[in-house]
């Protein structure tokens, strides 16, 4: 956070301030991937985006329940008990389609989620999602 304050004190050096923000995100992701606690960096991120007036994307699925249900139905899948479980079902369906070389189906799941603002990232530990 000290580097951010220094950047802002330097005639509102937004390029340097954004660099600090991106460094915090990168380090936070590294900590998550290595099983370390990213909480201090998440707190710094929240403070920086508040100062800069940015609004981070939502991290939950609120407001998407109906649209995720529609996506499931369009793919011939049943909804799960919760919206989060429904997204997990979609990711599982995509994994199965990819494993069976059913690329069109896998792309349909990914593209359907993307249309709802849910980005799927493939990692060595499996797919994970986030909102944009």
CA dihedral 114, 116, 119, 125 (to 10 degrees): -110
Residue ranges covered by each domain of the chain: 2-52, 65-131
* CATH dotted code for 2-52: 1.20.120.640
**Average pLDDT in the chain:** 92
Cα separation, 52 vs 62, whole angstroms = 25
| Res 60: pLDDT | 85
Q: What is the pTM of this model?
A: 0.61
pLDDT in tens, the chain (132 residues): 799 999 999 998 999 999 999 999 999 999 999 999 999 998 988 889 888 888 767 778 988 999 999 999 999 999 999 999 999 999 999 999 999 999 999 999 999 999 999 999 988 888 989 887
CA angle 72, 78, 79 (to 5 degrees): 75
């Amino acid at each position: 956070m000290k580097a951010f304050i220094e950047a802002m004190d330097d005639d509102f050096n937004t390029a340097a301030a954004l660099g600090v923000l991106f460094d915090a995100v990168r380090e936070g992701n590294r900590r998550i991937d290595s099983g370390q606690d990213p909480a201090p960096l998440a707190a710094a991120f929240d403070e920086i985006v508040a100062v800069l007036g940015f609004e981070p994307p939502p991290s939950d699925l609120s407001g998407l329940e109906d649209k995720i249900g529609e996506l499931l139905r369009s793919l011939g899948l049943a909804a799960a008990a919760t919206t989060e479980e429904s997204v997990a079902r979609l990711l599982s369906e995509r994994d199965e389609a990819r494993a069976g070389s059913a690329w069109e189906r896998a792309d349909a799941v990914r593209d359907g989620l993307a249309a709802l603002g849910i980005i799927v990232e493939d990692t060595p530990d499996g797919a994970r999602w986030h909102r944009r």
